[in-house]
């Protein structure tokens, strides 16, 4: 019996390996031709999540997309979204398993961006303009999202509409991010804020350190103005 179980296990393992390799989406696979562009060496691992609007999705060379990742452009299949790309993923990226990239206007992910699993990135938000109408029936709003090259997005982070993250930045796991963040930022929390930065003059420092090192004005009469500016 143990011999039979081992033999069956090997067959199942080999079969699953074959299915995963055969069903992965790559430039040479039939599914790859549906995308606006898909660079050399791209692989969307099987099983994939929800993928639609491929005509408005670009994926750069040598990018790896993990299992059960959803990438979508628009509200659903069959919608004309115009002449421009909606979702752009750069070269050499790695998108962690179970993540969602949900684009409606513009999501731009730079080169060499890595994410942990279960990251959610969207450029659309529900609104609550009318308290008498169900929120799900109110027309949503879109704002572009961009993530700078070389950045790392931690497990379970949520990137909300209107977010702009600079190059070589880190988003901590579980952070809920909205707003604009400069290059070389470490971003954490709910809501997310900068907890650390790197600059040529100070190296790594907290945001408060940058304020403390601001020079005091020569004229004492402008001190209160300086304090309010650095508070």
pLDDT for res 133: 96
132 with 67, same domain: the answer is yes
Does a structural domain hold residue 113? yes
d(CA 200, CA 210): 12
Range of the domain at 216: 202-231
Least confident stretch, 49-53, 82-86, 155-159, 223-227: 223-227
Does a structural domain hold residue 7? no
119 with 230, same domain: the answer is no
Please identify which of the residues 13, 100, 104, 126 carries the catalytic annotation.
126
Peptide bond into 47 cis (omega under 30): yes
56-75 pLDDT, tens digit per residue, is: 999 999 999 999 999 999 98
176 with 92, same domain: the answer is yes
Does a structural domain hold residue 6? no
Active site residue 126: yes
Structural domains in the chain (count): 2
pLDDT at residue 108 tops 90: yes
Q: Annotate 1-26 with DSSP letters as a single string.
A: -HHHHHHHHHHHHHHHHHHHHHHSB-
Does a structural domain hold residue 142? yes
């Amino acid at each position: 019996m143990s011999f039979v179980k081992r033999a069956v296990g090997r067959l199942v393992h080999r079969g699953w390996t074959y299915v995963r390799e055969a069903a992965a989406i790559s430039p040479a696979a039939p599914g790859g031709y549906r995308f606006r562009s898909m660079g050399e060496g791209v692989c969307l691992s099987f099983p994939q999540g929800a993928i639609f609007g491929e005509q408005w999705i670009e994926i750069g060379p040598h990018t790896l997309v993990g299992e059960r990742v959803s990438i979508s452009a628009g509200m659903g299949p069959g919608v004309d979204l115009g002449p421009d790309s909606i979702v752009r993923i750069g070269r050499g990226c790695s998108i962690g398993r179970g993540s969602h990239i949900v684009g409606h206007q513009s999501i731009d992910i730079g080169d060499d961006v890595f994410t942990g699993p279960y990251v959610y990135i969207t450029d659309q938000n529900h609104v609550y303009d009318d308290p008498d109408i169900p929120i799900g029936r109110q027309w949503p709003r879109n704002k572009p999202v961009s993530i700078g090259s070389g950045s790392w997005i931690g497990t379970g982070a949520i990137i909300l509409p209107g977010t702009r993250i600079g190059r070589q930045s880190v988003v901590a796991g579980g952070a809920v991010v909205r707003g604009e963040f400069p290059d070389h930022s470490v971003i954490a929390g709910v809501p997310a804020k900068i907890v650390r930065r790197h600059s040529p003059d100070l190296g790594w420092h907290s945001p408060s350190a940058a304020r403390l090192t601001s020079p005091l004005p020569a004229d004492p009469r402008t001190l209160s103005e300086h304090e309010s500016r650095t508070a």
